[in-house]
Every structure is written in structure tokens, then in C-alpha cells.
Amino acid sequence: MSAESARWAIHDLIMTYAARIDAGDLAGVGELFREGTLHSGGRRTGREAVENWFRDILILHPDGTPRTRHATTNVRITVDEDDDTASAHSYFTVFQAAAELPLQPIAAGHYDDKFLRRGDEWRFAERTPVLHLTGDLTRHLRLDVLRAASPGG
């Protein structure tokens, strides 16, 4: 696999994460981390831990989704072909429209990611979301759960 095809595969993985979150496919999000760790509100490793974390913190609306669209931009990917690893840095902006909440941005920040290759497949090794800006998160996250998971919370 060339570095260019590896970059495309990793880019697709980054976009798949956003699409699964927006679809409310939390089992699918967990599957992306079957060998990986999500650093968000603590350290969550493996499919079940990541899936359960999102089930605990995300508010799913009657249509089964969080009523969001994640825009992932400014994606920079570095591939180490000799080591079968890669890293990426990207920006995210989360938009939401829900009952009594018109369409608006509710969060913005960046992801620091590490990937590993198993055979021809790239997988998340680690994802660290860093939140920079927030709007109205009351219809998106169970803030009481987040506060309890935070150090000193």
C-alpha cells in the first residue's frame, strides 16, 4: 500500500467516525476502536468501552440520532510505512438542530489521532479530541455525566 493510498484509507476512517456518530451508530463507533483508545473524559479502550461511553454521554433524540453533523476539516496525515503507523491532526465543528434548538454550531476543536495498520486495514490506535469552543450542549451531551467523569468532577 502506498503512502497516498494509506492517507486516503485513514481519511476515510476519520470521516467514518463522524458519519457513525451523526447516525447514532454507537456500536459502529465502538467497532472503530476495537484495538484503540479514546481519550475523552478519561481513557476508554476497546469496542465495548467506547460504545458504552457514548451511550452514557450522548443524548439521542426520537429519531435515534444526536441530531448533529460533524464537519471535519484541515486534515493532515503523516504515514510511517516502515512502522505501519500513522498520525493525523484535524479540526472538527459540530452543528446541531433539535427541538427548540435551531441549526447552530455547538462545539469546535481538534482531534489528535494515531493509527495502526493490520494487514491492509488501518485502525484507530488513539483518538484525543480537544475542545476549544462550545455553544449550547444541553441537547447533545449529558453534562452531569461529563462533570462526574472529569478530574475533580
Tens of pLDDT along 83-101? 999 999 999 999 999 988 9
CB 36 within 8 Å of CB 51: no
Rounded to a whole number, what is the largest CA-CA distance in the chain? Answer: 52
What's the pLDDT at 153? 43
Check residues 50 and 145 and name the one with the higher pLDDT.
50
Q: Within a 13 Å sphere around the CA of 64, how many CA atoms are in the beta-carbon half?
A: 6
Nearest-angstrom CA–CA distance, 97 and 101: 6
- Mean pLDDT in residue range 120-143: 94
Residue 152's pLDDT band (cuts 50, 70, 90): very low
Residues 66 and 98: their CA atoms lie apart, in Å, by 8
**Whether pLDDT at 140 is above 60:** yes
Distance, CA of 124 to CA of 144 (rounded, Å) = 28
Task: Quote the pLDDT of residue 2.
Answer: 86
pLDDT given for residue 3 in this prediction: 85
List the domains of the chain with CATH numbers: 3-149 (3.10.450.50)
